Amino acid sequence: MTHKQGVRFELAPDSDQAVSMGRHCGLSRVVENFCLETVRKKWAQRKAEESYGITGDDLTKVPWSAPALEKEWRAAHAERYPWFAEGKLSSRIPKEACRVRAAGFSNYLKSKQGKRKGAKVGFPGWRKRKDGSRFRYDADRAKPLDSNTVRLPAIGDVTTCEDMSWLTSRMATGEARVLGATVREQAGRWWVSFQIEVDRDGVNKRRQVSHDAPACGIDLGLKTFAVIRDSDGTRREIDAPKPLKAALRALRKANRKLSKSKEGSKNRGKARRRVSRIHLRVADRRKDFLHKTTTELTRTKSAIAVETLHVKGMVKNRRLSRAISDAGFGEFVRQLEYKADWYGSRIWKADRWFPSSKTCGDCKWINQGLVLSDRVWVCPGCGVHHDRDDNAAGNLLAAMLADPNF
């Protein structure tokens, strides 16, 4: 059975290749902004025509789709952007930039019409340099040549800092194929991310969770990242590294230097890269912790009960928003879900309003007066002393085991 997944490798381009990749990032940004400008103008024109009483086929057509946006780009770039043809840039980059914009417009329209689940999606905005440098190739235009080399059209063969044998060996046997590739720059470093379709059956079978592995309930929190209660009675706590909190002092110092540097100077560029490196290190530490924790859990637990957290609403609390964002609760649950599918574990998600912390694990009395600062409490019904997080994890586990549909 094939799975779609992403794999990322760091690149080690030479100076000419880095310049060329930077130019392609600029091209992608220009095309995306051209698409947005075109849609805005034609949409405004259509609205004006409707106000004049024009109807039907006489109205200006708005190019919402990727093929329509590509047609607009091909018609305009020779006159507006002559450097595109002269600069030996890949023709695949504008094609993918148009697809990215078309997807953004589609998400906006579906959200507006109520056809898209989740939070409301706003109208796409302008791409800016500070939003990040990236560009995409479609299909297998960009692909690994060997375990340490990637071929990028119009750029050349770029060496990687990491070994790609896991991917290249499977491509050689037909177990994997590249569906697309994204090249991205951050803090002066370059990465290529391959979107692949791969047969993981062999890997997943070797790493399958044991049939006699215990089930568990997981309560997520800020003081202790996760309290885990197993069905065999064992209890465990996992503490998060809190990478943003650890880097705040260095980040404040770097931001002060950035704010005091002269606009457009070389020192400002150095200061900006210093801030970017700190943010990159924070993100990498958090990602490393989440991947290691979720992999270990899904390979050692037969079933996992978790809460359904409304993270977007939680971060509106100004006192806790930074700590909540630093923890990465949403990414933790997302990784649990797809890794459980890989390794044969199961995920049970409690209802958002399930009172896991307020319910007494012994007599099921609900403590409606429990507040966030109450870390321990005594049940007036049966007199049992409860640790808030441990009690919540036990209640999640019990609810999962009692669910007849699970």
> Nearest 5 degrees, angle CA 311-CA 314-CA 319?
135
pLDDT band of residue 321 (cuts 50, 70, 90) is very high
The Cα 223–Cα 288 span in angstroms is 20
pLDDT number for residue 55: 85
Q: pLDDT averaged over the chain?
A: 93
370, 368, 18: which is closest to 159 by C-alpha?
18
Based on the residue annotation, tell me whether 307 is a catalytic residue of this protein: yes
pLDDT band of residue 361 (cuts 50, 70, 90) is confident
The Cα 242–Cα 170 span in angstroms is 36
pLDDT number for residue 266: 92
Please check the confidence at residue 1 and state whether its pLDDT lies above 80.
Answer: no
The Cα 242–Cα 225 span in angstroms is 9
The DSSP secondary-structure symbol of 160 reads B
| pLDDT, mean of residues 302-309 | 94
The share of the chain scoring above pLDDT 70, in percent, equals 100
pLDDT number for residue 400: 95
The share of the chain scoring above pLDDT 90, in percent, equals 77
> Nearest 5 degrees, angle CA 205-CA 340-CA 182?
90
Tokens linked to 267: 């020192």
Residue pair 73/98 in contact (Cβ under 8 Å)? The answer is yes
Taking only the tens place, the pLDDT of each residue in 85-101 is 888 899 999 999 999 99
* DSSP alpha helix (H) spans, 65-175: 66-80, 83-86, 92-112, 165-172
Taking only the tens place, the pLDDT of each residue in 49-88 is 989 888 888 899 999 999 999 999 999 999 999 999 888 8
pLDDT number for residue 229: 95
pLDDT band of residue 284 (cuts 50, 70, 90) is very high
* Dihedral sign for Cα atoms in the order 86, 92, 95, 99: negative
Based on the residue annotation, tell me whether 326 is a catalytic residue of this protein: no
Based on the residue annotation, tell me whether 212 is a catalytic residue of this protein: no
Please check the confidence at residue 129 and state whether its pLDDT lies above 90.
Answer: no
pLDDT number for residue 273: 92
Tell me the pTM. Answer: 0.89
List the catalytic residue out of 32, 72, 307, 326.
Answer: 307
Listing DSSP states for 353-406 in one string gives T--TTTB-TTT--B-TT--TT--EEE-TTT--EEEHHHHHHHHHHHHHHH-TT-
List the catalytic residue out of 185, 219, 326, 390.
Answer: 219
Instruction: Tell me which residue has tokens 């574990």.
Output: 345
pLDDT number for residue 372: 84
The Cα 12–Cα 23 span in angstroms is 17
For the chain, give the longest Cα–Cα distance. 80
Residue pair 243/233 in contact (Cβ under 8 Å)? The answer is no
Neighbours of 75 (CB within 10 A): 10
Taking only the tens place, the pLDDT of each residue in 245-263 is 999 999 999 999 999 999 9
Listing DSSP states for 294-308 in one string gives HHHHHTT-SEEEE--
